[in-house]
Amino acid sequence: MSESERKDTPEQAEFRAYCRDWLRDNHPGESPVRLPQSPIEIMTEPQLHWLQAWQKAAYDAGLVGCDYPEAVGGGGRKDCQRVANEEMLAARTPFLPNVIGLGMAAPTLFYHAQEPLKERLLPRLLSGEDIWCQGFSEPGAGSDLASVQTFAERRGDRWVINGHKVWTSLAHFAEWMILLLRTDKSHKYDGLSYFVVPIRSALGKGVTVRPLIKITGETGFNEVIFEDLEVDDSYRLDELGKGWQVAMTTLLHERGGGELVTPRSGGLTSKTSFSPTARNLRTLAQETPRGNGTAADDPLLRDRIVRQFIREEALQQNQRRSRVPALQDHPMRLQLQYKLLISELAQDTARLGVEVAGPASTLYLADEHAPTGGQWPLAYMNSYGMTIAAGTSEIQRNILGERVLGLAKSK
């Protein structure tokens, strides 16, 4: 019995057994199409539709949205999403495609939207039927998020939106966007408001989505341009001018520090799916010729791979500690450091994978001779997006320094 199982409440223990049985009988198996390494790189409709079917099945079975109230499409359970996540990851399932909806839009809607809007939007968000994207960054406002200039002008009970958002993952498939914009140009923070906007139905009628092709050749990123898009005031979350406070709810959950646990699955490793983990790194070393043996015979390399295993284990144990207040020296330290540590761990593991593959790491996805199908250089190039998204590593260190260590604010 695992440590998690020993600490389960009776409700969690019963739910864990249910999840395990359901996953055993309903694992979707191998994808018929090549999958990207993460949801934000989904490019084609066949990829999206297969992953949406998986999320819908998991939602219908009660494994997604477990801790949300039944009135808004959830399972009405208490602290059971963590259990479902652990079992989905242990079963090595595909990832859930609606990552922005589940991790950012859902908790923001739950805490800040009016009840009719929650009841309307959350069920289809949790099921994956409606894909969501995030409208935060702009060409002139990245890390300095409070400088966004996309503007909404009020006209009666409606708002007219004009502006330009960038690095908008999944916008090419999204029905809805969470949108931070400006409703008052005279105040930097108090002039911000927060909306949810139906963008798919407005394509060509006030909304333009343009793909941004990354160095990897993938097109998960986009820019979104608003030109006189009209939305109803009922799509505004919280009070006018409270956009910055609402955005903090979004970012706290995006960084892993929110009260609601984000539904998470993954771990499927096959010819169509891959993640840069220490386990996969070890396999690469064992399969890579080096001298009269393999790369795994090098004791210095083995030591570096073991260090990655240790870092992964430490991250998992810190996640366990974060659920026990008595084991924390600060109520938010472990939660706030999670995003920084996991993104840099993935980057370091991918970098080491490229190093292990050596000259063969220059071979890419379409080359039949590429180690692991060319996934390691793809993972390394993609890793830089993760150390930038949700606030760069430099921003995360500033947050930890100021909010946890109590250091003076940087200038």
Give 267-283 pLDDT, tens digit per residue: 886 655 678 899 999 99
410: its two tokens:
């940087």
Q: What is the pLDDT of residue 322?
A: 74
Positions of E strands within 115-156: 132-135, 151-155
197 or 214, which is more confident: 197
93 phi and psi angles, rounded to 5 deg: -90, 170
Q: Where residue 319 falls among pLDDT bands split at 50, 70, 90? A: confident
82 or 255, which is more confident: 82
Q: What is the pLDDT of residue 272?
A: 55
Strand partners for 267: 93
Q: Where residue 194 falls among pLDDT bands split at 50, 70, 90? A: very high
User: What's the half-sphere exposure (Cβ side, CA atoms, 13 Å) at 218?
Assistant: 25
Give Cβ neighbours of residue 265 (< 8 Å, ≥ 6 apart): 58, 63, 85, 88, 89, 93, 94, 95, 96
409 or 120, which is more confident: 120
Q: Residues 109-119: what's their mean pLDDT? A: 97
Burial 288-302 (b: 16+ CB within 10 A, else e): beeeeebbbebeebe
Label residue 317 exposed, middle or buried (CB < 10 Å: 0-12, 13-18, 19+): exposed
Q: What is the pLDDT of residue 351?
A: 95
Q: What is the pLDDT of residue 135?
A: 96
CB atoms closer than 10 angstroms to residue 159: 22
Q: Where residue 397 falls among pLDDT bands split at 50, 70, 90? A: confident
| Separation of alpha carbons 361 and 377, rounded Å | 6
Strand partners for 132: 176
Q: Is the pLDDT of residue 377 over 70?
A: yes
Q: Is the pLDDT of residue 5 over 60?
A: no
Q: Residues 136-160: what's their mean pLDDT? A: 92
Q: What is the pLDDT of residue 6?
A: 65
| pLDDT more than 90, % of the chain | 67
Q: What is the pLDDT of residue 330?
A: 72
Long-range contacts of 40-44 (CB under 8 A, 24+ apart): 40/99, 40/100, 40/169, 40/170, 40/220, 40/221, 40/385, 40/389, 41/216, 41/218, 41/220, 41/382, 42/97, 42/170, 42/173, 42/220, 43/218, 43/219, 43/220
| Separation of alpha carbons 220 and 94, rounded Å | 18
Q: For residue 328, give the amino acid letter.
A: Q
Helix intervals (H) in 144-230: none
| Separation of alpha carbons 237 and 196, rounded Å | 7
Cα–Cα separations (whole angstroms), residue 1 to 6, 7, 9, 13, 346 = 7, 10, 14, 11, 29
Cα–Cα separations (whole angstroms), residue 52 to 55, 56, 59, 271, 363 = 5, 6, 10, 20, 31
Q: What is the three-class DSSP state of 257?
A: coil
Q: What is the pLDDT of residue 387?
A: 82
Give 164-188 pLDDT, tens digit per residue: 999 999 999 999 999 999 999 999 9
Given the structure tokens 């969501």, which residue do they identify?
Answer: 132
Degrees (nearest 5) of the Cα angle 220, 221, 222?
120
254 is catalytic: yes
Give 26-43 pLDDT, tens digit per residue: 999 988 988 888 888 899
| Separation of alpha carbons 302 and 63, rounded Å | 37
36: its two tokens:
């990207």
376 or 328, which is more confident: 376
Q: What is the pLDDT of residue 1?
A: 47
Is 379 within 8 Å of 273 (Cβ atoms)? Answer: no
Strand partners for 138: 141
Burial 108-145 (b: 16+ CB within 10 A, else e): bbbbbbeeebbebbbbbbbbbebbbbbbbbbeebbeeb
Is 104 within 8 Å of 250 (Cβ atoms)? Answer: yes
Quote the mean pLDDT of the chain.
90
Given the structure tokens 């043996």, which residue do they identify?
Answer: 293
Catalytic residue among 30, 223, 254, 287: 254
Is 380 within 8 Å of 284 (Cβ atoms)? Answer: no
